Amino acid sequence: MTAPERAPRVLVADDQTLIRTGFRLILTARGIEVVGEAADGVEAVSLARERKPDVVLMDIRMPVMDGLEATRRILAESPRCRVLMLTTFDLDHYVYTALSIGASGFLLKDVTPEHLAAAVRLVDTGDALLAPSITRRLVERFASTAARPPAVHGDLAALTPRELEVLTLLGRGLSNTELAAELTLSEATVKSHVARIFAKLTLRDRAQAVVLAYETGLVRAGGPPDS
């Protein structure tokens, strides 16, 4: 008999009471435990330290301390915690910064109940929530406005040519299944390549891999679309 699926423990941080209450009701109705609610970033950091959630749903714009600084502090103290940013705009420029500092993805606040629960479960497994078309537009828009040459990331020299190829395709938003098809490899082999890339570059997940691919110039704004 297989063991029952472990339910993620979630902290909801948003300055709007209705949003917090709505998300709590949606998640608990789907078997996901909400361990706390925070109305600002300071409270989110404190509750994350105390309750040790698996996933934090983090509003970007909150009083006292915004969601970006709260995310930095939570991930510094609890690297295994996953943070999903909440925003009302799919191209909110704060989201790019959030991905850079370690957030595992983002959700629009008008997300459907089913998508919300699925997103929480997805990032709890260690994956990132990336809608390739939106994420690519987001990174292209804000990575390309920096008016600076591509960042130099010395650790890229540690990657094999195949790993560089995989990282480039990750940067374009391809899933493991799409990577396997593109490179004519098994999904198991692709997962091994991805795991080694993350280890060598100390990346948390695919969200950071996308940002790094743009900032190092492996993928350029206006480059070829996903296959």
Tens digits of residue pLDDT in 141-158: 655 555 444 444 557 888
| Domain 150-215 coded CATH 1.10.10.10 | yes
Residue 95 φ/ψ, nearest 5 degrees:
-65, -40
User: What is the per-residue pLDDT for 10?
Assistant: 97
Is this structure's pTM higher than 0.75? no
Kindly tell me if the per-residue pLDDT of 24 is higher than 90: yes
d(CA 23, CA 7): 16
* Lowest-confidence pick of 91-100, 153-162, 198-207: 91-100
76: which residues sit within 8 A by CB, 6+ positions away?
none
Domain ranges of the chain: 9-129, 150-215
CATH class of 9-129: alpha beta
User: What is the per-residue pLDDT for 218?
Assistant: 80
Mean per-residue pLDDT for 170-191? 85
* Lowest-confidence pick of 4-18, 21-35, 45-59, 97-111: 97-111
* Lowest-confidence pick of 41-50, 137-146, 164-173, 191-200: 137-146
Please say whether the beta carbons of 118 and 83 come within 8 A. no
Tens digits of residue pLDDT in 50-94: 999 999 999 988 989 999 999 999 999 998 899 998 887 665 567
* Lowest-confidence pick of 32-41, 73-82, 105-114: 105-114
